Amino acid sequence: MKKGKLVIVSGPSGSGKSTVTKIVKDRLNIPLSISATTRQPRVGEVDGKDYYFLTTEEFENKIKNDEFYEYANVHGNYYGTLKKVVEDNLDKGLNVILEIDVQGALIAKEKKKDAVLVFFKTENMEILENRLRNRKTDSEEVIKTRLENALKELEYQPKYDYTIINVDIEKSCEKLINIINE
Ligand code: 5GP
């Protein structure tokens, strides 16, 4: 059976990658891939739906047991994709979209050379900052860390196969769908 395609989406927090990825997954019937994290749930987030929320000890046990396809420390917390989530779906011939940070993306690309890397960004840093503030989900300190990290993340852009400058959600969805179907 033909294996599915692994598409990895990254980009600074606030670039709109989650919104676009969610719409595209719904439209193409791509299964959700729920990551594990040690960060605290935000208001409204549900364990097993948004993330598997783990303690540091639980996460580190999974690292020891080699359960992760990739994992990284992002903004001071662990985030990781479980092997099962990726391998089972690809084996079934289903496409998989992972929305993960730049470090995890490069680990995954190393494992699967034909993975397609897509980088999301805004037109400039001012727009990014406004988006982070307007969503009102994070404290001032968290916003500051995320903006600092955005600059570091942008340095990874040349390693990606495609870049989507997310100005219009619908146009970005079309671009991502074209990349997946290519
Ligand atoms: P947030 O806390 O806003 O949900 O996510 C913060 C960052 O962690 C985002 O850049 C997101 O793409 C990344 N992230 C989410 N899940 C994973 C994962 O499984 N692995 C890695 N490496 N990064 C992830």
Question: Mean pLDDT score of the chain, rounded to an integer?
Answer: 95
Instruction: Please give the pLDDT value at position 164.
Output: 98
Any ligand 1 atom below 6 A from CB of 119: no
* Count of CA atoms in the C-beta half-sphere (13 A) of 3: 11
Which atom of ligand 1 lies closest to the CA of 51? Answer: 16
Instruction: Please give the pLDDT value at position 136.
Output: 82
Residue bearing the bigger pLDDT, 119 or 134: 119
Residues 6+ apart with CB under 8 A from 85: 33, 34, 69, 96
What distance in angstroms lies between residue 1's CA and the mean position of ligand 1's atoms?
31
- The CA-based diameter of the chain, rounded to the nearest angstrom, is 49
Closest Cα to atom 10 of ligand 1: 101
Above 90 in pLDDT, residue 138? no
Q: Which domains does the chain have, with CATH numbers?
A: 6-181 (3.40.50.300)
pLDDT tens digits, residue range 40-72?
A: 999 899 999 999 999 999 999 999 999 999 999
**Residue in the structure block whose two tokens are 């580190």:** 60
Above 90 in pLDDT, residue 1? no
